[in-house]
Amino acid sequence: MDLHKLEACIKEHGSSKIPFCMITVTNNTGGGQPVSMANIRGVKQILEKHGIPLVIDCCRFAENAYFVRERETGYADKSLLEVAREMFSYADGATMSCKKDGLANIGGFLICNDDQWAEQFKNLLIMREGFPTYGGLAGRDLEAISVGLMEALDYDYQVYRHATIEYLASRLIKRGIPIVQPSGGHAVFLDAAKFLPHIDSLKYPGIGIVNALYLEGGVRGVELGSVMFGKVDDNGNEAPSPLELVRLAFPRRVYTQSHVDYLIEVIDKVWNERKQIPGYRIIQQQKYLRHFTCHFERVS
């Protein structure tokens, strides 16, 4: 997080209007890039001065811990568990989708270190879903999460996972296919703006690539660009996102070497035929979170 911009934001809006600050580890929407411990610590110091809580979106906390250990001075001799514990020591709360570094097939959690917050969360839960003991996840899924959280912090597991990502990234770079560099820990991000420079941002080049990959090889990616992050005002005028990306995320313990080689072949075929990929326009969308359900049609 840009510490100067954080200070400026607090000064502009006032701490009383900022209920909390959230930092995501790793930064999924920015190409899966990690957050340094120094940056998390710096964010916490600024927020403490203004009485603003820090909440971490931690669904890829183990990958972030791995990056900190590998890249940040002073952490090379620490275990991933030790790195993770320091990271969470700066947080007042955290949210997590356990389908990521929980290595589970379902579930998530919201945690905090404030008893008053916890009471409010439980009361809201009763209104929306039911009493905490009524259900939620089955015991089997809770056990899977408890095991998965620790397994994700196994150093050898992280080495293997990151090697898989680097394998894909290096072969795409060798072919001249534009990606976000360095690659993140959970995905390779195609740079859709450079992949399809003939398509304007508001004709959604990311959607063009996503569709082409699926039609060519059954590969499912996701657009992280002007569909997901474009700004639409009350008059329907749209401003594009500064980044036009396509995320190719890797589920844990699913794909083999042959799967990755197949993916490379599909991407290469789409890359070589990229001039034939059309733009798209939205023909149906919701006011909020439109990227989940909006409909498109081709445009020339």
User: What pLDDT tens digit does each residue of the chain (300 aa) get?
Assistant: 999 999 999 999 999 999 999 999 998 888 889 999 999 999 999 999 999 999 999 999 999 999 999 999 999 999 999 999 999 999 999 999 999 999 999 999 999 999 999 999 999 988 888 888 776 788 899 999 999 999 999 999 999 999 999 999 999 999 999 999 999 889 999 999 999 999 999 999 999 999 999 999 999 999 999 999 888 777 778 888 999 999 999 988 888 889 999 999 999 999 999 999 999 999 998 888 888 899 999 997
Residue 164 class from Cβ within 10 Å (0-12 exposed, 13-18 middle, 19+ buried)?
Answer: middle
Q: Which of 116, 151, 186 is the last residue of a domain?
A: 151
The strand ranges marked E within the chain are: 21-24, 54-57, 93-97, 108-112, 187-191, 222-224, 231-232, 238-239, 245-249, 279-284, 295-299
Same domain, 89 and 141: yes
What is the per-residue pLDDT for 135? 67
Nearest to 57 by CA among 7, 122, 5, 109: 109
Question: Looking at residue 261, which CATH number applies to its domain?
Answer: 3.90.1150.10
Same domain, 75 and 143: yes
Q: Which residues contact 173 (CB under 8 A, 6 or more apart)?
A: 179, 181
Same domain, 170 and 254: yes
Same domain, 97 and 182: no
Q: Which of 130, 151, 172 is the last residue of a domain?
A: 151
Q: Which residues contact 285 (CB under 8 A, 6 or more apart)?
A: 293, 294, 295
**Total-model pTM:** 0.89
Same domain, 288 and 209: yes
Which residue bears the tokens 């999460």?
145
**DSSP string covering 154-202:** -HHHHHHHHHHHHHHHHHHHHTT--B-SS--SSEEEEEHHHH-TTS-GG
Reading the block at residue 288, the tokens are 């909020």
> What gap in Å lies between CA 18 and CA 10, rounded to an integer?
8
Decide if 90 contacts 40 (C-beta within 8 A): yes
Same domain, 264 and 213: yes
Give the chain's largest Cα–Cα span: 57
Reading the block at residue 254, the tokens are 């699913």
Distances (CA, A) of 225 to 2, 41, 107, 163, 271: 21, 29, 27, 27, 19
Domain extent, residue 263, equals 156-299
Question: Looking at residue 117, which CATH number applies to its domain?
Answer: 3.40.640.10
The count of structural domains within the chain is: 2
Same domain, 70 and 195: no
Three-state SS at 222? strand
Same domain, 34 and 140: yes
CA dihedral for 299, 289, 40, 63, sign (positive or negative) = negative
Decide if 121 contacts 109 (C-beta within 8 A): no
Q: Report which DSSP code applies to 247.
A: E
Amino acid at position 165, single letter: I
Q: Report which DSSP code applies to 209.
A: H
What is the per-residue pLDDT for 19? 95
48: phi then psi, degrees, rounded to nearest 5: -60, -40
Q: Which of 151, 168, 195 is the last residue of a domain?
A: 151
